Amino acid sequence: RAKRDHRGICLFDAKMDAEMRDRRRLENALRKAVEANQIELAYQPVISTYQGRVSSVEALARWSHPVRGPIPPDCFIDLAEECGLINKLGEQLLHRACREACDWPANVAVAVNLSPLQFQSGDLLDTVACALKESGLPAQRLQLEVTEGLMIKDVDRTFRQLEELRSLGIAILIDDFGVGYSSLSYFERFPFDKVKLDKSFVDRITTSKTSQAIVQAVAGLGEKLDMAIVAEGIETKAQARLLTEYGCTHLQGYLFSRPLAPQSVRDFVSETKVYAHG
Ligand code: C2E
Ligand code: CA
Ligand code: CA
Ligand code: CA
């Protein structure tokens, strides 16, 4: 299995070794970027279908590597989780989001993504409280997006932390809902404020009867349980129209706006566009 070149060096190992070194370098660059507070946030507007205005923006991490240029967040967030940087980075981004949100109109909330590992650190509640206090942002303007990955470990402790965060006045959203292992029984254990449907349902909404039925069912559940239903990744008017018709309360996607630089949020919000689909 292990091929060897004429010097007898295992080629397979050599390739692995190169990959490892490459990863190591990226990890070091990320560590430096976190230490220098260089990871920034872009903010994607979320439209309330009922109010026809921007009700919140989602904070999305952005890192531009000095040589390689922009690195996708999926990639460096995973790396940060694997090399023990996620708590420091997560804390930094919370502070940054709260601070930047203070410059926007008071009826716009900011939604920050949390890694499941931040719930294992033991000081998430303090970190969040501190970010609110230091920035002066009211808790009602902060939302936290969590994923089902959260439910894998120590579920009772996790739900306790969610309760505590919620008691500060922060809305809790479950992201990427409906794929993987997300389960309806979560709703029995914790009253989420918002449910964000996985983008895959949005992708298929105009073509798949099954996706249509699923979105309608989740929207019905949202109505009964008093949870907002967010659809993300909307790229076409046809998608927006159907999702609104099926009862989604909030829409997000390139159709409305790409993620924006912090200083562009205010202008986008005050353009007072009224979005009407239907
Ligand atoms: P997510 O939380 O599901 O974020 C939504 C992703 O969909 C974002 O990608 C966003 O830019 C993209 N998107 C929004 N509208 C559209 C659309 O109309 N079409 C398409 N094709 N894509 C759209 P992004 O910014 O690359 O982030 C990817 C993932 O990285 C996020 O998925 C989230 O899981 C993670 N992430 C990003 N920022 C953070 C962060 O600050 N903390 C943590 N823990 N994770 C983050
Ligand atoms: Ca998210
Ligand atoms: Ca998502
Ligand atoms: Ca995702």
Round the average pLDDT of the chain to a whole number and report it: 93
Question: 172 - beta bridge partners?
Answer: 144
pLDDT tens digit string along 238-260? 999 999 999 999 999 999 999 99
Given a cut of 80, whether residue 3 has pLDDT beyond it is no
Instruction: Find, among 145, 166, 153, the residue nearest to 73 by Cα.
Output: 145
Give the span between the Cα atoms of 90 and 96, in whole angstroms: 10
Q: Whose CA is nearest to atom 30 of ligand 1?
A: 74
Q: How far is the CA of 56 from the centre of ligand 3 (A)?
A: 15
Q: Hey, CA dihedral for 144, 150, 155, 161, is it positive or negative?
A: negative
What would the pLDDT profile of 31-60 be if each residue is shown by its tens digit? 999 999 999 999 999 999 999 999 999 999
| pLDDT of 9 | 65
Torsion angles phi and psi, residue 5, rounded to 5: -85, -175
Predicted confidence band of residue 153 (pLDDT cuts 50, 70, 90): confident
Position 183 scores a pLDDT of 80
In the DSSP assignment, the letter for residue 4 is: B
Per-residue burial over 53-66, b = 16 or more CB atoms within 10 Å of its CB, e = otherwise: bbbbbbbbbbbeee
Q: Which of 47, 56, 78, 113 gets mutated to test ligand 1 (max ligand atoms within 8 A of its CB)?
A: 113
Token look-up 């924006």 returns 260
| pLDDT above 90 for 180 | no
Q: Which residue's CA lies nearest to atom 37 of ligand 1?
A: 60
pLDDT per position as a tens digit, 102-142: 999 999 999 999 999 999 998 999 999 999 999 999 999 99
Report which of 61, 111, 67, 66 is spatially closest to residue 86, judged by C-alpha positions: 61
What single-letter amino acid sits at 266? R
- In the prediction, which pLDDT does 44 show? 98
| Tokens describing residue 134 | 């230091």
CA–CA distance, 113 with 116 (Å, rounded to integer): 10
- Helices 86-101 and 73-82, axial angle in degrees (round to 10): 130
Percent of the chain residues past pLDDT 70, beyond the cut:
93
Nearest 5°: CA angle at 29, between 115 and 132? 40
Residue 239 CB less than 6 A away from ligand 1: no
Q: How far is the CA of 171 from the centre of ligand 2 (A)?
A: 14
Give the separation between CA 12 and CA 15, rounded to whole angstroms.
5
Q: pLDDT tens-digit profile of 207-233?
A: 999 999 999 999 999 999 999 999 999
Which SS3 state, helix, strand or coil, does residue 10 take?
Answer: strand
Residue with tokens 């903010």: 43
pLDDT at 150: 83
Lowest-confidence segment of 7-16, 67-76, 178-187 by average pLDDT:
7-16
Ligand 1 atom having least distance to the Cα of 252: 15
Q: Which atom of ligand 1 is nearest to the CA of 73?
A: 30
Q: Is 259 in the pocket of ligand 1 (CB under 6 A)?
A: yes
- Check if 92 has its Cβ closer than 6 Å to any atom of ligand 1: no
Q: Does residue 61 have its Cβ closer than 6 Å to ligand 1?
A: yes
pLDDT at 278 over 70: no
Listed in order, strand segments (DSSP E) in the chain are 40-48, 53-65, 69-71, 109-113, 142-146, 171-177, 194-197, 228-231, 250-251
Enter the tokens of residue 195.
């449910």
Residues flanking ion ligand 2, Cβ below 5 Å: 113, 145, 175
Provide the 10 A C-beta neighbour count for residue 271.
Answer: 9
| pLDDT band at residue 163 under the 50/70/90 scheme | very high
The tokens for 213 are 């039925």
Six-digit token pair at 251?
A: 């829409």
The model scores a pTM over 0.80: yes
What gap in Å lies between CA 79 and CA 175, rounded to an integer? 20
Instruction: Give the ipTM of the model, two decimals please.
Output: 0.97
